[in-house]
């Protein structure tokens, strides 16, 4: 039995492109939702709402590190690019930016190792870093260490997000109707994009035939 149908997932999208892309994700979604016990309407609605926001309706499955302005680069990675002079050496160089920004973090090697770009954010909830790719891959039975680009495909993209959800106790927060709390665990204390996330939550709830908050 499907936890969410293609018709329901498509109805939650706001763009024709999202509706088209949903067809590639619905099978993986049902597979991994069931595997990680994201199985009640409240849990499903919260999960789908969050990933529709995070991915721009399944468009953005690998982190784009091609910053072309020093100010933007420094705003996102202030510690790694502490001056305009340093940032200016990297702008427009996506691979080099990621390798510096994520060097020595989450199991990555140094800047020269290439791990930063190889294991940059990926999947429906941006898994980042060699160690996190390894843990997600082990949980899914997918070799993400040697084939990291798989995280940009529907199966691993969805499965890695479900693994993150499970590891971070987000089912509990969905059961408690704490949508702000789960957003902070996904996005950090700023809980950016709440209005957009709540819009998707309402759309998914309607598509699932739910009454009241998830």
pLDDT in tens, 147-173: 999 999 999 999 999 999 999 999 999
Is 148 part of any domain?
Answer: no
pLDDT, mean of residues 19-23: 97
Task: For residues 52 and 157, state if they share a domain.
Answer: yes
pTM, to two decimals: 0.94
Question: How far is 179 from 214, CA to CA, in rounded Å?
Answer: 8
Q: Give residue 124's pLDDT.
A: 98
Is 65 part of any domain?
Answer: no
Is 130 part of any domain?
Answer: no
Q: How far is CA 149 from the centre of its chain?
A: 14
Task: Take residue 86 and report the two structure tokens written for it.
Answer: 């340093």
Task: For residues 55 and 83, state if they share a domain.
Answer: no
pLDDT band, very low/low/confident/very high, at 214 (cuts 50, 70, 90): very low
Is 31 part of any domain?
Answer: yes
Task: For residues 36 and 14, state if they share a domain.
Answer: yes
Is 180 part of any domain?
Answer: yes
Is 129 part of any domain?
Answer: no
Is 194 part of any domain?
Answer: yes
* Furthest-apart CA atoms within the chain: distance in Å: 57
- For the chain, how many structural domains are there in total? 2
Residue 24: domain span: 6-59+153-208
Residue located via tokens 């980042």:
128
Nearest one of 186, 136, 158 to 58, comparing CA atoms: 158
Residue located via tokens 């293609």:
6
Is 42 part of any domain?
Answer: yes
Task: For residues 78 and 48, state if they share a domain.
Answer: no
Task: For residues 54 and 78, state if they share a domain.
Answer: no
């Amino acid at each position: 039995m499907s936890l969410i149908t293609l018709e329901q997932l498509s109805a939650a999208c706001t763009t024709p492109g999202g509706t088209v892309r949903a067809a590639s994700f619905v099978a993986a979604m049902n597979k991994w939702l069931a595997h990680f016990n994201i199985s009640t309407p409240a849990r499903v609605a919260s999960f789908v709402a969050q990933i529709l926001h995070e991915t721009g309706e399944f468009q953005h499955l690998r982190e784009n590190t091609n910053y072309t302005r020093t100010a933007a680069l420094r705003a996102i990675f202030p510690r790694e690019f502490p001056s305009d002079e340093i940032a200016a050496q990297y702008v427009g160089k996506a691979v080099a930016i990621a390798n510096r920004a994520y060097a020595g973090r989450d199991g990555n090697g140094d800047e020269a190792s290439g791990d930063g770009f190889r294991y940059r954010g990926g999947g429906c909830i941006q898994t980042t870093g060699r160690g996190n790719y390894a843990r997600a891959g082990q949980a899914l039975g997918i070799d993400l260490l040697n084939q990291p680009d798989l995280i940009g495909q529907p199966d691993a993209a969805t499965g890695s997000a479900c693994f993150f959800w499970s590891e971070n106790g987000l089912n509990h927060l969905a059961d408690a109707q704490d949508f702000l709390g789960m957003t902070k665990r996904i996005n950090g204390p700023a809980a950016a994009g709440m209005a957009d996330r709540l819009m998707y939550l309402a759309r998914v709830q309607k598509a699932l035939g739910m009454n009241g908050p998830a």
